[in-house]
Structure 1
């Protein structure tokens, strides 16, 4: 990958989109992870106003530390960037109480994990609305178009997606070029939605390099073409991809026959 040219391309794309949308800047949620660190830095390089939000909900200390260190890095390097920490833990707990959430069931826990993501989306759009900013998505190609590893109307609720055409390995390449902190680059990828700090690989059952391989071969192969670990990874990718079609594809619209409308 021509990393420096890709960076310039994304920054120019962001600037062009902002200009054509008649908005004034960008808002990005940062988690202490690689994707949000890259997106927020790319947005910062536009020279336009950027608001970076850290929104912990029962977050582990290392995640919070990385997010705040990244905000510090951005605000010191770019005069157009401002940062804010909004602890949503109390809000989340109040909602759980109102919902009478029973955390003894796994399905309920998944719903609550997704609720964390949706609370952050609400917060991002609150500040976007106040400032006439665009909400920048932080999903990569594997997450957004491979296995649907995002929350519908949570981290999937965005205005623009600067890195959704990049594989995770390519995001890491850009991170190195942008001098993203070593602590972020070395951290295990995680969605940060669980109290037990499970990683993305723990949840998915495969690493991002494995998923990138599966995405590459998926269209022209079937599981029986492979054996051992490759077959297992292919089956994981295939199953998640099928389950995620309702996320990956546009919302279905019931098209009413014209003769019924007149």
Structure 2
């Protein structure tokens, strides 16, 4: 049986904060900008950035956002500002921008494809907004993706939340992010909330979209890396493993470098 490593949270916290600070100083920037979603990943990322002592700008970017996400994000930002004097905030309500874009593009397509495309469009509008703030304030865009999302199932938007300058928690499994979040005293409302990307304007969970929990997907990722055979699994494990393998395969274009056609000049 494959067991998850027990995270040494204090050690990992120290390592990531130092890594962030060193990277920012070498890049000659003032600090970081983080998009706040009301989820655990952005809460942990922004708290790690705040510990560097450098400027941290937390940006809320609602687009028809579910109220529970808004309230959790607001609670986290208020807590972070009370704890760290280097943290500031900004609100960019992108709802009208999103609606204007929809008026300028055709929308008479198959509904599921249209809904997914519009969800990804939300993420890309937010990426553009974060880089706006990064540019005017001399900041780096800090990514909020974890290991399962970024390198397991590719559960992120290409050039959306995947468009960042650096990824401080991308080597942490989702379960490890939660362990670090508890250590960092992230609000309980976030710790107890079911993970959700919030890209559909509702409270639809990641589990509903993925068909498996993060714990299950971590299990599948570890077993896949260990070369385990599907014949050894229970029926539920087989289903989860198949979900993981399918998502990992179809989302490779997100996880690999952009392919370049190398021209033969001979």
Tell me the TM-score normalised to structure 2 length: 0.95
Pairing partner for 1:254 from 231, 244, 261: 261
Pairing partner for 1:45 from 48, 51, 56: 51
Structure 2 residue matching 1:206: 3-state secondary structure: coil
Task: Assess if the C-alpha contact under 8 Å between 2:152 and 2:221 holds in 1.
Answer: yes
Pairing partner for 1:83 from 89, 111, 124: 89
Tell me the equivalent position of 1:226.
Answer: 233
Query: For residues 196 and 51 of structure 1, what CA distance do their matches in structure 2 show?
Result: 26
State the number of aligned residues.
259
Query: For residues 227 and 71 of structure 1, what CA distance do their matches in structure 2 show?
Result: 43
Is 2:106 the partner of 1:100?
yes
Pairing partner for 2:242 from 235, 238, 255: 235
Tell me the equivalent position of 2:4.
Answer: none
Pairing partner for 1:133 from 139, 142, 159: 139
Tell me the equivalent position of 1:195.
Answer: 201
Is 2:173 the partner of 1:148?
no
CA shift, 1:7, in A, is: 0.2
Q: C-alpha deviations, 1:28-68, integer Å up to 9, x for none?
A: 00100000000000000000001000111001111101111
Q: Which runs of no fewer than 5 residues in structure 2 stay unpaired?
A: 1-6
Q: C-alpha deviations, 1:41-96, integer Å up to 9, x for none?
A: 00000000010001110011111011111111111111101011211111101101
Deviates more, 1:220-229 or 1:49-58: 220-229
Task: Assess if the C-alpha contact under 8 Å between 1:134 and 1:159 holds in 2.
Answer: yes
Q: C-alpha deviations, 1:128-167, integer Å up to 9, x for none?
A: 0111110000000000000000000000000000000000
Query: For residues 182 and 15 of structure 1, what CA distance do their matches in structure 2 show?
Result: 27
CA shift, 1:118, in A, is: 0.3
Query: For residues 121 and 55 of structure 1, what CA distance do their matches in structure 2 show?
Result: 10
CA shift, 1:253, in A, is: 1.1
Q: Which runs of 4+ in 1 moved over 4 A?
A: none
Is 2:211 the partner of 1:205?
yes
Q: Which runs of no fewer than 5 residues in structure 1 stay unpaired?
A: none
Query: For residues 23 and 258 of structure 1, what CA distance do their matches in structure 2 show?
Result: 40
CA shift, 1:101, in A, is: 2.2
Task: Assess if the C-alpha contact under 8 Å between 1:103 and 1:109 holds in 2.
Answer: no
Pairing partner for 1:19 from 19, 25, 34: 25
Query: For residues 217 and 249 of structure 1, what CA distance do their matches in structure 2 show?
Result: 21
